[in-house]
Amino acid sequence: MNIRNLIGGVAALAMLGLSLGGALASEGKIHSVKPVAGSPLPELWSGYKYAKPDTNAMQDDDFANPGMTWYDVGETAWSKKDGAAGKSCAECHQINDMKGVGARYPIVDAKLNRLMNVEERINYCRQNYMQAKPWKYDSQKMLGTVIYVKAQSRGMPVKVKIDGSAAPYFEKGKKFYFEPRGQLDMSCAQCHQKYYGQQIRMNTLSQGQSNGFPVYRLKWQKPGSLQRRFRGCNKQVRAKPFKTGSDEYMALELYLAWRGTGLQVETPAVRN
């Protein structure tokens, strides 16, 4: 079913004073939680807190949220056969089975013994089961499919594993977060931990939480992956960005997800 038709049904129910739960309903309004033990932050705030009111209103309304257009792209791609094997995602997975994926990834795959985010998982399935070419992270089909998958977890609290086989990746991501780099000799923590809530270039610095990615940025006029944001931040401090899917960025994704433990999945969030 096309999401636009489903949303129309939701609107009809809303007129009758009813509500519809699940991934396609607007996420809850909880954008702040207490941090887990060991967190460097006294309170966790989603980027929603630091966005402009009209931007938040856009996110809250599935009709107005421009990221939902990519949801439709993902819904179509999910059921489309591709590759030499002539298979689709839907042949192996019911979309309802994806509930929770957006809240618990990145994870360490026990068989492959490596850290994987949702993009890497999609490409692994494409190459190994569909015998199809991998998608680039910020291609339309990849962004759409990741949004489609992660949106099934909207409203669920982020909770990733950082112990066991994930521990080395977590420590690497933590080190990256606090390590100064580039000509400006700045770390992620300087903006998103020390000075969040303050303004820079007419924008308010957020805590840099990842619970809304892929996000639709008004600046980009399209959604973008978390690793696109990493590259942009590295360029802003005059540092050479790492490659998309690099060990450094994968580890950083895990650390950021833990740092935002308990915040609700907002994909696709809308940001300035």
Q: Is 103 left (phi over 0), alpha (psi -120 to 50) or beta?
A: alpha
| Residues whose CB falls within 8 Å of the CB of residue 79, separated by 6 or more in sequence, listed in order | 88, 89, 90
DSSP state of 182: T
What the block records as the tokens of 144 is 């759409």
Catalytic, 125? Answer: no
3-state SS, residue 82: strand
Name the active-site residue from 89, 188, 191, 233.
Answer: 233
Largest CA distance in the chain: 58
- Rounded to an integer, what distance in angstroms lies between the CA atom of residue 227 and that of residue 242? 9
Are 158 and 265 a contacting pair, CB within 8 Å? Answer: yes
Give catalytic residue positions. Answer: 233
